[in-house]
Amino acid sequence: MFSLTRFGMKTLGRLSRGIQLGWEAGFDSGRTLDYVYENKPQGFTPLGRAVDRAYLNSIGWRGIRVRKINLQKVLRDAIQQTHKEGRPVRLLDIASGPGRYVLEIIREQSQIPMSALLRDYKPENVEAARRLAEELGLKNVTMMLGDAFDHGSLAAIKPKPTIAIVSGLYELFPANQPVSDSLRGLADAVEPGGYLVYTKSGSPGPLGTALDSFGLPAKSSLLPSENMDQFGPE
Ligand SMILES: C[S@@+](CC[C@H](N)C(=O)[O-])C[C@H]1O[C@@H](n2cnc3c(N)ncnc32)[C@H](O)[C@@H]1O
């Protein structure tokens, strides 16, 4: 069954913009997630657009869009709380992809002064985030390349962020040590009393479900959510 789905993804699927992008950039890439958030079916020929619509409506991608809404809600609360406490709002996202969910919230909460640093290890994502910030008319956002698992480069971030975000990252990596290094880097980076907003997936989670339902072999490499729980506050 999976090989049939996979075959379909490689043949008919090529007519769909989203599936083509998945093969090109990765089905778990920042660009694919951004396409899923945008949720505007595109494709070659009406058949291609119909396949794309079905792809975007699959259960896993619907879950990813719900996750974005929940993430934005938590982010909004953290921003308002930080501001209410009279502290500066300085956001840091360590693997932002194009960062649509953060950038939309910065624009929505424009009455609160804030700055943001968006990092990703792929130049194409840093560039996409820069373009999107420009499109949204945001000035106080900086983008840069950076490794989300490098303790030293996280710990050295200045000025110290007050809200750190990790979305759709840790669950992609099966090994505990890099996640632990990253969290320790964030603990050193974030101002005391700041917030960490992160997503964690149950097994297989929305991304795992999406990849799984297209016959793509990512589920086995996802970090189970129980592994995340052992990194609670020390
Ligand atoms: C599933 S996407 C999530 C993107 C975005 N945070 C979101 O939730 O929509 C995973 C992102 O992590 C980035 N990434 C993967 N490994 C990384 C690393 N070691 N350092 C920084 N970014 C990384 C990828 O380039 C990609 O943009």
Ligand 1 centre to CA of 120 (Å) is: 6
- Who contacts 33 (Cβ-Cβ below 8 Å, separation ≥6)? 64, 97, 168
> What would the pLDDT profile of 56-77 be if each residue is shown by its tens digit?
999 999 999 999 999 999 999 9
What CA–CA distances, in Å, run from 29 to 32, 54, 70, 101, 170?
5, 19, 20, 15, 13
Q: Are residues 158 and 52 in the same domain?
A: no
Q: Are residues 44 and 152 in the same domain?
A: no
In this predicted structure, the answer to whether residue 21 has a pLDDT above a threshold of 60 is: yes
C-alpha span between 213 and 167 (Å, rounded): 21
Residue 221 within any structural domain of the chain: no
Ligand 1 centre to CA of 194 (Å) is: 22
CATH number of the domain that residue 134 is part of: 3.40.50.150
Confidence band, pLDDT 50/70/90 cuts, at residue 119: very high
Residue 222 within any structural domain of the chain: no
Token pair 């953290």 is found at: 78
Residue-number span of the structural domain to which 180 is assigned: 64-198
Residue 129 within any structural domain of the chain: yes
**The predicted structure's pLDDT at residue 37:** 97
Residue 224 within any structural domain of the chain: no
Q: Are residues 166 and 75 in the same domain?
A: yes
Least confident of 10-24, 25-39, 150-164: 10-24
**The predicted structure's pLDDT at residue 224:** 44
Q: Are residues 92 and 24 in the same domain?
A: no
Ligand 1 centre to CA of 4 (Å) is: 29
What is the number of the ligand 1 atom nearest to the C-alpha of 172? 1
**The predicted structure's pLDDT at residue 43:** 96
Q: Are residues 35 and 78 in the same domain?
A: no
Tokens matching residue 153: 């480069």
Within 10 Å of residue 153's Cβ, how many Cβ atoms? 17
Q: How many domains does the chain have?
A: 2
Q: Are residues 49 and 72 in the same domain?
A: no
Decide whether any atom of ligand 1 lies within 6 Å of the 149 Cβ.
yes
Q: Are residues 91 and 177 in the same domain?
A: yes
Residue 225 within any structural domain of the chain: no
From the CA atom positions of the chain, what is the Rg in Å? 18
